[in-house]
Structure 1
Amino acid sequence: MKPKNTKDALLVLFEQNKGRYFSGEEIAETLSVSRAAVWKAVESLRSDGYAIEAVKSRGYCLSPDTDIVSAQGVGKYLRADLDLDFEVYEEVTSTNTLLKEKAAAGAREGTVIIANSQTGGKGRLGRSFYSPLNTGLYISILLRPSDMPAQEALKMTTMSAVAACRAIEAVLPETEKDRPQIKWVNDIYFHGRKVVGILTEAAMSMENGNLEYAVPGIGFNVYLPEGGFPEEIKDIAGAVLSEKIPDAKNRIAAEFLNQFFAIYRAADHGGYEAEYKKRSLVLGKQVDVIPTGGGKTRRGKVLDITDDCNLLVEFPDKTTEILSSGEVSVRPKDLLRK
């Protein structure tokens, strides 16, 4: 991504060389700007929260402990063959809402919105998604798949789930033995708590019934918010990391995009369904089947996850049903809440 101004260009230089000192003169020559412009850009980055050290006779240095998501920070970890248009915001109402507006205006596939917080984050079934400042990471991707029936839009959610698990594992300490799991259809659990939520929204062509575009939105709880989670979700929600890790947000965002597009663009999507099943928190388990429109909760055993992302459930009377995510929610009977 080409820098828009001196500030952006300086952040690229710093992000690619965290911990290294540059003299003001060296920066000015590298960026072809004046020393005054360098000072102004440094002060602007500091006002954005970047810890930039200044040492006499050594120059300026971006602290290696910095963990602020930015286009420049994400970009340095992206695969070279990924051609994405992405924008990073401090705060938005909803990354999905903003990206759907861009989709309606003709934005191309591969447009990505990343935010540090959302004031109107959206969850499944019309719920809100808690998206506080500085502790989470919120990403939406615009996709324009060719010849994909609208009913297959849910696959964007399941692809995102696998990619999110891989991204989380990329930043976990080597000593971490637990692994993220997928609670059908759109939640990632880690240490028994929900750390990622996914919502895919789409538009359909009325002419052929295919997808016009799809926007999977992914919310990561990277760190625990100060003061904890709100009362209504405090027993369910958790965080990917228990302590700060340098560049964690940029690494998670980039690795998620790397892994998602590796799956999305592979022939037959790389057979990701097998990994989705392997990571499933519900497959082979007893679950409570909860009708989304209200009604009686039933207990059943999940026998399989079908190719179109539905659940095959066996009930105590040995009858089986195929259930879609639009009809029911499930709650694993033995889901741990640590």
Structure 2
Amino acid sequence: MPDTKEMVLSYLEENSGKFSSGEAIATKLNISRNSVWKAIESLRRDGFQIEAASRRGYSLSGKADKISVSEILKHSQTSIDPDLILVHDSLESTNKTAKSEATFDAPHGTVIIAAQQTGGTGHKRLSFSSPKGGIYMSLIMRPEEFSIKNSKLFTPFSVLSVCRAIEELTGFTPSIKNINDILLEDKKICGILTEAVSDFDTGDIQFIVVGIGIYFNIDVSELPSDIRKKAGSIYKKGEEKISINQLIARILDLILSPGNIDESVISNEYNKRLLQ
């Protein structure tokens, strides 16, 4: 179940532009007015602009584009289990956290998301700078639960899913470089790291963690100087045409509920986008 803060945020989003009393929110959500007040204060600390007016109640104004389970679910076109989406303000590495969760039997489809990472890594263990304004998430995939049986296609499928989501929502046409880097106008805006853990005795894959790092609306000037010239961002801050939660939702839809998968289609489209 969503926590109280997520429930209050979802209510305010659904009633954006108008005031709702604390009593009305409490009654609708079946919680106490004190819980509503605590949730409002917590949301404000998170960066949401919530107005309060005597005898009128609360109203969400100037929507802050924070990563939120309720907002992801609102934009999802499939049945994503909210209990499997774990959102953090900051993590050392979403892949590291996901592997730990998977070791303790976290189910297929568990998603770890962070607004920033302090120790993110990419291909060949290179550091992946992860400032605010990005999407940093890792998905736990159990092979027995997934349609793709050829493990070599997990990375191409994941890369292609992100490309498709970006293209569908923004109209931009991403290309692929170095197997798992996604580019817009020759600037890297996404890196994907796929890691598998196998049973030592049988060699069978126990789980796969797909790590996705996307520069959504970061300030490129904040990146280390050695990667600044090669990196880009989907949007500049303030020029976004979609929300960060919309993009997360579409990527999760495409990866977790892919429908019938034609492996030859994956290979062909991936190769068409791949820069030689």
Alignment TM-score > 0.5, same fold: yes
CA-CA distance at 1:223 after TM superposition: 1.4
2:250 matched residue in structure 1: 255
RMSD: 2.4
CA-CA distance at 1:152 after TM superposition: 4.6
SS of equivalent to 1:38? helix
| Separation in structure 2 between the aligned mates of residue 219 and residue 109 of structure 1, nearest angstrom | 20
- Equivalent AA in structure 1 for residue 142 of structure 2: R
Q: Tell me if the contact between 2:221 and 2:228 (Cα under 8 Å) persists in the aligned partners.
A: no
Among candidates 201, 212, 217, match of residue 218 of structure 1: 212
| Separation in structure 2 between the aligned mates of residue 155 and residue 64 of structure 1, nearest angstrom | 42
Q: What pairs with 1:141-180 in structure 2 (closer than 5 Å)?
A: 141-146=139-144, 152-172=150-170, 178-180=172-174
| Separation in structure 2 between the aligned mates of residue 280 and residue 138 of structure 1, nearest angstrom | 23
CA-CA distance at 1:235 after TM superposition: 1.2
* CA 71–246 in structure 1, closer or farther in 2 if over 3 Å, else same: farther
- Equivalent AA in structure 1 for residue 45 of structure 2: S
Q: How many residues align?
A: 272
| Structure number having the greater helix percentage | 2
1:44 matched residue in structure 2: 42
Q: Tell me if the contact between 2:109 and 2:256 (Cα under 8 Å) persists in the aligned partners.
A: no
| Separation in structure 2 between the aligned mates of residue 253 and residue 274 of structure 1, nearest angstrom | 25
Residues 184-224 of structure 1: per-residue CA shift (max 9 Å, x gap): 41000001100000001111123443311100100000113
1:113 matched residue in structure 2: 112
- Which protein is bigger by CA-based radius of gyration? 1
2:57 matched residue in structure 1: 59
| Separation in structure 2 between the aligned mates of residue 105 and residue 90 of structure 1, nearest angstrom | 22
CA-CA distance at 1:86 after TM superposition: 1.2
2:185 matched residue in structure 1: 191
TM-score (norm 1): 0.74
Q: Percent identity?
A: 38
* CA 19–260 in structure 1, closer or farther in 2 if over 3 Å, else same: farther
- Is 1:138 the counterpart of 2:142? The answer is no
* CA 217–154 in structure 1, closer or farther in 2 if over 3 Å, else same: farther
- Is 1:19 the counterpart of 2:17? The answer is yes
Mark the runs of 5 or more structure 1 residues left unpaired by the alignment.
Answer: 283-338
Q: Tell me if the contact between 2:219 and 2:236 (Cα under 8 Å) persists in the aligned partners.
A: no
CA-CA distance at 1:62 after TM superposition: 2.0
- Is 1:129 the counterpart of 2:128? The answer is yes
- Equivalent AA in structure 2 for residue 92 of structure 1: L
* CA 246–235 in structure 1, closer or farther in 2 if over 3 Å, else same: closer
Q: Tell me if the contact between 1:95 and 1:139 (Cα under 8 Å) persists in the aligned partners.
A: yes
Q: Tell me if the contact between 1:68 and 1:247 (Cα under 8 Å) persists in the aligned partners.
A: no
TM-score (norm 2): 0.89
Residues 5-49 of structure 1: per-residue CA shift (max 9 Å, x gap): x32321222234443432222112112233333222111110111
Mark the runs of 5 or more structure 2 residues left unpaired by the alignment.
Answer: none
CA-CA distance at 1:67 after TM superposition: 0.5
